[in-house]
Amino acid sequence: MTLEAQHVSYSIHDQRILHEVSIQIKEKQFVGLIGPNGSGKSTLLKNMYRLLKPESGTILLNEKDILQQSSKSIAKNLAVVSQETPLLFDFQVIDLVSMGRTPHKKLFELDHEDDFRIVKEALSQTGIAHLETRSFSSLSGGEKKRVMVARALAQQAQVIILDEPTNHLDIQHQLQLMDLIQTLHLTVVAALHDLNIAAMYCDTIYVLQQGRIVHYGTPEEVLTPAVLWEVFGVHADIQMHHLTGRPYLTYVSEQFTKIAPKETSTIQIT
Ligand SMILES: Nc1ncnc2c1ncn2[C@@H]1O[C@H](COP(=O)(O)OP(=O)(O)OP(=O)(O)O)[C@@H](O)[C@H]1O
């Protein structure tokens, strides 16, 4: 199952937010979307999961225009963990995660044994089995995030869109969540602020700046000192990590770059 944005443009109040953005997520690829605050990452993802409608351009889910597909068919194939969790009512965690099964059911169809098993597995995979009877509103930010991921897993979609999935999570849970998503071998696109997480998990990274894709490629190709300076305005020391084999970034404050300009903004391969 694949997901693709083709020449997507989008405006809000006559202000162009996305300019002809094209990104492609191939079957079982893990694609990262990085860029400064306000560069359009969430807006692009919202277009990709049909919360917003592109002004021009097309979103293809499994090579078919998403606007031509029914909501139920999209929900069977595409799960979303967004930044916001707008809930009108409070729910118990287990009920919320069970909602992930809805696209697989007919109207008023009750949960089957299989549904219970899938929901319990999602709770366990995300490490929140002990929270199943808690009310969602009483949870911490990180616990809420894991509930939303569990709901997406219970949906058993082949494509998953994640908008800052590691936001609110402590470092152990960040790595656990990213490991879990990687081991599921889904087609993934994730907006990520942590560039070391992006480097470690992504096959391909797209860089958005002011609503345009300005770079894309493998983490090694994209996460260079020159790109980090151009897009984020920061100096970075980048090495290939001896365990992950992926780039590892250390950001260097201006005060140190003044002292040792030659030691920063270089790629060192160890
Ligand atoms: N409903 C809205 N009304 C007005 N402006 C909006 C609205 N939604 C988004 N924008 C603007 O569109 C631009 C892109 O926002 P978006 O949330 O897509 O960026 P982002 O890259 O996800 O940012 P961040 O990293 O801060 O989450 C920003 O300038 C934002 O202020």
Low-confidence winner among 28-32, 40-44, 137-141, 186-190 (lowest mean pLDDT):
137-141
Task: Return the CATH number at 192.
Answer: 3.40.50.300
Tokens standing for residue 235: 């100096």
pLDDT score of 109: 65
Mean pLDDT value across the chain: 90
Q: Is pLDDT at 180 greater than 70 in this prediction?
A: yes
Low-confidence winner among 18-32, 40-54, 96-110 (lowest mean pLDDT):
96-110
Same domain flag for 202 and 241: no
Same domain flag for 210 and 128: yes
Residues of the domain holding 269: 224-270
C-alpha to C-alpha distance for 151 and 82, rounded to whole angstroms = 12
Tally of domains in the chain: 2
Same domain flag for 262 and 216: no
Same domain flag for 173 and 77: yes
- Which residue blocks in the chain are alpha helix, DSSP H? 41-48, 71-77, 93-98, 113-125, 141-154, 171-183, 195-201, 219-222, 225-232, 254-259
What is the whole-number distance in angstroms between the Cα of residue 244 and the centre of ligand 1?
A: 33
Same domain flag for 161 and 102: yes
Q: Is 197 helix (H, G, I), strand (E, B) or coil?
A: helix
The residue contributing the CA closest to ligand 1 atom 28 is 38
Tokens standing for residue 54: 């592109």
Q: Is pLDDT at 270 greater than 90 in this prediction?
A: no
Mutate to test the pocket of ligand 1, among 23, 34, 41, 209 (most ligand atoms within 8 A of CB): 41
Same domain flag for 127 and 239: no
Same domain flag for 180 and 247: no
Same domain flag for 187 and 145: yes
Which span out of 109-123, 126-140, 203-217 was modeled with the highest average pLDDT?
A: 203-217
Same domain flag for 172 and 268: no
pLDDT band for position 107 (cuts 50, 70, 90): low
More confident: 84 or 69: 69
Question: Which residues are CB-neighbours of 165 under 8 A, at least 6 positions away?
Answer: 81, 145, 149, 177, 178, 181, 190, 192
User: Tell me, what's the ipTM?
Assistant: 0.97
Alpha carbon distances (Å) from 173 to 33, 133, 166, 177: 20, 21, 8, 6
Domain boundary among 203, 222, 241: 222
DSSP letter string over 127-179?
Answer: T-GGGTTSBGGGS-HHHHHHHHHHHHHHTT-SEEEEESTTTT--HHHHHHHHH
Rg of the chain in Å (alpha carbons): 20
Are the CB atoms for 49 and 80 separated by under 8 Å?
A: yes
Alpha carbon distances (Å) from 150 to 130, 156, 176, 221, 239: 13, 10, 13, 33, 34
Which span out of 84-88, 97-101, 105-109, 120-124 was modeled with the highest average pLDDT?
A: 120-124
Low-confidence winner among 65-69, 86-90, 104-108 (lowest mean pLDDT):
104-108
What is the whole-number distance in angstroms between the Cα of residue 102 and the centre of ligand 1?
A: 30
Same domain flag for 86 and 120: yes
Same domain flag for 83 and 194: yes
Same domain flag for 213 and 150: yes
